Structure 1
Amino acid sequence: MAPHDQHDRPLSELVRELSESQAPTITLGELIESLGASALAGLLLVFGLACTLPLPPGSTTVFGLPLVLLAPQLLLDSPGPWLPRRLRERPIATAALRRPFARMIPWLQRMEAVSRPRLGFVVDGPGRRLMGLICTLCALVLILPIPLGNMLPAATVSVFSLAMIQRDGVIAMAGYAFAAASIGALVLAANLIGAMLRTGLSALSLT
């Protein structure tokens, strides 16, 4: 498949092909090649959406680690994703990816249906770098074992990634709303944990 053909096709179609692949394994390098010109934002969207799904404990850490490597590259205006050679060539069992990829497809199709190129200045240049900074911070949150703390940061990464793929400034603005909600939720969680710790320490001091 030619690279320009891949670029012109919706990401949901490419993910469907990957979910239906009969190959026993796939490497991250092959995944990058299959995503074509939108590989960097495409990988961020795929791994971001994976972190929003109800998967077994620890899954967000597994899917969050690639985000920690990929998101900062938006700050450098990287034309394509860079990963260490060892990571690019590491095989991943396709059986482990089929279920999360299949569950992503309806969400991708819904998002693609409501997005289109508009307000391009919001997703270009400084706007792209700002989104990259926020995605990097969200990725760092995703690898932490915070109960129920992954949904909003993962949604933020997913929405920003879609905005970059579709060059949709309106979707990018929605991403900023998710980012603000993520900050609020994390501050609330930190306050609750702090209050619980203080209560526990007080109870211990009274015994």
Structure 2
Amino acid sequence: MHMNHLANRLRDAAGALPPGPVPLAALAEAHGGAWQASLLVLLSAPCLLPIPGVGSVLSLGLALLAAMLWLWPHEALPPRLARVHLPREGAARSLDLLARFYDRLQPMTRSRWTPLAGRTARWWLAPLTLAMAVLIFLPIPFGNLLPAVSLMLAGVALLARDGVLMLGAVGVAAGALASSATFLALGWQAGAALLGWA
């Protein structure tokens, strides 16, 4: 889906929300079947902030999303999740923020190398999302940054069908895995030395 079209669609949906709580099904419908990609962006973005506990909580949501990417390849939300309601103000704010975010990203994205960012991408994007969720969950100093950037790039790549951007997301994920493994190895060695195990 073209980013400008999606941004306008979300902006219109934000202004047309009915009074009262809004079901998640309505928000998913506003995305025109692209709710999984937007959910990647929404759950990953707060992990960039150095707020204690945010990553631990949202990593669980990302792990659940990884399972949905693998097991639920449908445009509609799973029925149980579709019946969850959000306050109208929060729903409208989320749609408006996503619309502005996609507007800014539009000049940097375009449909290219689409097989890497199409429907079949879920077969490898699901395990990648789960791996990044685990890294976000681990208490590694500044360890949330690269995994969150990787998942945000992947979400935008899915929306824009941008295979080049998806390759960038995979590259950032590889860097996240490498840096986290290095930190954990150094931490293990330091702990072993302190305890006299080395």
User: So what's the TM-score if we normalise by structure 1?
Assistant: 0.73
**Higher RCO, Cα 8 Å, sep 6+:** 2
Using the TM superposition, give the Cα deviation of residue 51 of structure 1 relative to its aligned residue in structure 2, in angstroms: 1.9
Structure 2 residue corresponding to 1:161, chosen from 146, 155, 164: 155
Please provide the CA RMSD for this pair: 3.7
Task: Please tell me whether residue 194 in structure 1 is matched to residue 188 in structure 2.
Answer: yes
Q: 1:24 to 1:113 in 2, by over 3 A?
A: farther
The change in CA–CA distance for 1:11 and 1:133 in structure 2 (over 3 A counts) is farther
2:32 to 12, 29, 36: 36
Change (3 A) 1:119 1:41: same
Q: TM-score, normalised by structure 2?
A: 0.76
Q: How many aligned positions are there?
A: 197
Is the alpha carbon distance of 1:100 and 1:62 closer, same or farther for their aligned partners in structure 2, counting shifts above 3 Å? farther
- Corresponding residue for 2:177? 183
Structure 1 residues 33 and 104, CA gap change in structure 2 (3 angstroms): closer
Residue 137 (structure 1) aligned with residue 131 (structure 2): yes
Task: Please say if 1:57 is aligned against 2:52.
Answer: yes
Given the alignment of the two structures, is residue 71 of structure 1 paired with residue 70 of structure 2, yes or no? no
Determine helix, strand or coil for the equivalent of 1:36: coil
| Range 89-98 or range 165-174, more displaced | 89-98
Q: For 1:158 and 1:171, how far apart are their aligned partners in 2?
A: 10
What residue identity is the alignment partner of 1:140?
Answer: V
* 1:112 aligns to 2:106 (yes or no): yes
Q: CA deviation at 1:190?
A: 0.6
Q: Unpaired runs of 5+ in structure 1?
A: none
Consecutive unaligned residues of structure 2, counting only runs of 5 or more, are none
Given that 1:77 and 1:129 are in contact with CA atoms closer than 8 Å, whether structure 2 keeps it comes out as no
